[in-house]
Structures are given as C-alpha cells and as structure tokens.
Amino acid sequence: MLKLRFGNRAGFCDGVSRRNFLQLGALTLGGTLGGLTLGQLYAAEAANGLGSSNKAIINVHLSGGPSHQDMFDLKPEAASEFRGEFRPISTNVSGMDICEHFPQLATMADKFAIIRSLIGSTGAHSNYQTHSAYDQRDLRNAGGRPAMGSVVNKLQGGSANGAPAFVSYNGGSPGYLGAVHKPYEPMGGSLRLNDSLTSARLDDRTNLLGQLDTIRRNMDTSGQMAALDSFTQRAVGVVTSGAVADALDSNKTSPKDQDRYGKEGTSFLRARRLVEAGVRVVTFGWGGWDTHSGNFTSLKRQLPRLDQGLSALLTDLHDRGLEKDVTVVVWGEFGRTPRVNMSAGRDHWPQVMAAFLAGGGMKMGQVIGSTTKNAEYAKDRPIQFQEVFATLYRNLGIDTGRAQLIDTAGRPQYLLDRRDPISELV
C-alpha cells in the first residue's frame, strides 16, 4: 500500500483534513475521488500547451535564519565582538572570499553568485517569503500570495512524463490559486504498483472514479473535488511515470553518490534527481540555523555539511549539462545580529541578509551588493526579495511583466510588484 500526502497539516475550508492520505492499493485509489480522469487532465494540459519546459528551480530554505556574516559576508577587520570566530578564505574568483568552512565551494565560486545586500525580510520564522516573495499578510483576504511552485503549476503545469510541477518538503501555500495548486509532498514508502495492478488497470479505475463522481464534482462549489482531481492525477503520474518514483527511491542511490553528497546531503541529491525527472520546482528546508546561543559551535557542524552537499549538487548540474536549465537558490528568513551576544550566539536581524544563487544560465562568479563595516545594513546595491523572484521566474521562462493570475475576488494580480530581474545576473 502506498500513502502519499499533499499539503500542510491544517484543514481545508470545508473541514476535510489535509492530513488525509491518498492511497494506491490493489483495489482502489483510496478515498472518494472524482472529476477529471488522468487522461482528461493530460489532454487539457496538452490543449493549453503545458508540460513542454525543462527549466527548473531548486529552492533551499535554511530554516531559522542563517548567519550571513559567518558564511558569505565575513568582516575580518571588524572588532572581535562583531567578526566572530571564522576567517574568510579566497575562492577561484579574485576578490570573492567566503567562510573557511566552505573549502569545496571555494574551488567553484565561478559557478555561483552571492547577494550580500538582500533586504526586506519580514522578520518572521517562516518560509512564506522564500516561497512567495511576500509577507503573509499580503492579500490575506483573498487567500494570500501563492508560492512560486504553485504559480508554476498554474502557468506551466506538470511535465509531459507525469512529473508534478511542484514537489515540496517544506510546505508552500497555493494562496489565492486554491488547493488544486498545492505542492506534492512525498511521505516515503514504495512508489511502485503491486504485481496485480498494471498502469492500464490503474488508469481504468481512475476513469471509473471520474465517471461515478461527475455529478458530485459538478455540484461542488468549494473547489475540494477539483483539488482531489489534481491530487489523483499527480499521484498516478508519480507512480506510473517511473522517473519520479525512481528519484524518490533512496534505494536507487548509488554508494558513490551517497559518499559524494554525504549523509546530510541527501536532500540535495534527491532534488537533483527530481528536476532530472521533470519536476519544475523542488523546495526543501535544510538544517537548523536559529543560533541564539553557541552560534559558532553549531556552524562548525553545519557549514561543512552544507559545503559538501551544495558543492556536489553544483558539480552534478554542471557535469550533466543542466547548469543553464536549473537554478539553485539558498537562503533563509533573515540574517543574524552583527554583535555576538553573551551566549556566543547571534539573534534575529531582518535588516539585511545574504542569498546564494547558481545555474539558470545566469552570470556567475560575482558578489552583488555590500554591507556596512559590521554587516549590519546594506551599503551598496540593496536587493529586494521580489527582485530575486523576478530573476527566478525569468529563468523559468515566465514574463513577470505580462503574466497575471486571477484571485478569489476575480481581480487580476501580477506575480510581483517589482518585476525587473537582477540586472547583474541576466
């Protein structure tokens, strides 16, 4: 029996729990599902020109707020209570220094860019902003702003091979787009049909469910049946496509890959496999970065692991010819205080932070922006979250100057208020 979970723990507006599971077993697609059949959904996608792009985003959220001045914006000339314990090291790009605990990344700085002057953090312990570019309060009455993966699901749809558009291991609200565009959240298990259930029989059963539930779906005004239609399509697509199932199967990982990425780098490897399988947006949270105390002790463990997993990912994307198609972004919800506190930690600091970008055909090997002497404020070239998102959408082939979506009140909404990508990167 396979169990797949979609969405977060909270309930839908009509009381159906998002913790309900979609079950694929020997007899049925679990629960009462209805509406469009798998074939009908694929036909609708094809009619709308969906499923043709191979561009992808890997969005890595460093949960808790990573210490920007101990990773990518070290201040060796600052007083000891500001500069901390770590020292910068040179990279293979002249004048571009990063933390000493990133020795592997230092050898490939020509393959990434660092933004040192990212501003506009809402200061909340939440990944909402790194999913959507907005504050959680924006358009709240209309359902909120959708995550990038949900926007991509709406505008571009899943891949032709059945891969879902949006796979997330750390949530992501569909906002005003509705539950149909929630992320697919794998929950483990064997993603294989049992011996008595072929792909053809599974599709027949999906068709039958669609026929039985057509009346109920047509009467439904909550959108829940449409959401379940999409969940059915994604679940069946994952199981029958093979490629996505293989990407999610840890048993398919070679010992060589496991060794290169490291035990803590599994999420980076899985993300690479998912975008290779056709997923357009993959998001996951990595590590714990809320270092109010013991900041340097914690980072001495965290940074080498991040160095290994992230450098392995960049190497693979380059070696497999994916560096122009796949964009990697690594960031958190805010930076950390310039002054080290009495517990050898750094507290929350939303005034400025750093972001790491790679791939997507962008101009790499550069640092964008700078901060003041203690890394407390943006000094040159402040960059807003929405500018980063405009760049990410551009890399996916989505024109933020033209693309609009309709919210729950029937109003057209641009994807972003700031719609120009970062000029230095494009």
Digit-coded pLDDT (tens) for 162-219: 789 999 999 999 999 998 899 988 875 444 445 554 555 545 555 555 554 554 555 4
Check whether 34 has a pLDDT greater than 50.
no
What is the rounded average pLDDT for all residues in the chain?
Answer: 83
CA dihedral 216, 219, 224, 227 (to 10 degrees): 80
User: What average pLDDT does the segment 237-260 reach?
Assistant: 80
**Choice between 142 and 203, residue whose per-residue pLDDT is larger:** 142
Q: Identity (one letter) of the amino acid at 385?
A: F
pTM value?
A: 0.81
- Asked if 275 and 159 count as a contact pair (C-beta separation under 8 A), the reply is no
User: Cα(first)–Cα(last) distance of the chain, in Å?
Assistant: 47
- What's the confidence (pLDDT) of residue 158? 87
Average pLDDT on 47-54 reads 55
Q: How much of the chain exceeds pLDDT 70, in percent?
A: 75
Q: Residue 296 has what pLDDT?
A: 98
How far is residue 231's CA from residue 146's CA, in Å, rounded to a whole number? 18
> How far apart (Å, rounded) are the C-alpha atoms in residues 74 and 71?
7
Q: Which helix (H) or strand (E) holds 206?
A: helix 199-212
| Domains of the chain with CATH codes | 55-192+223-425 (3.40.720)
Q: What is the DSSP letter of 11?
A: B
Residue pLDDT, tens place only, 286-317: 989 999 999 999 999 999 999 999 999 999 99
CB 239 within 8 A of CB 24: yes
The pLDDT score that the predictor gives to residue 67 is 98
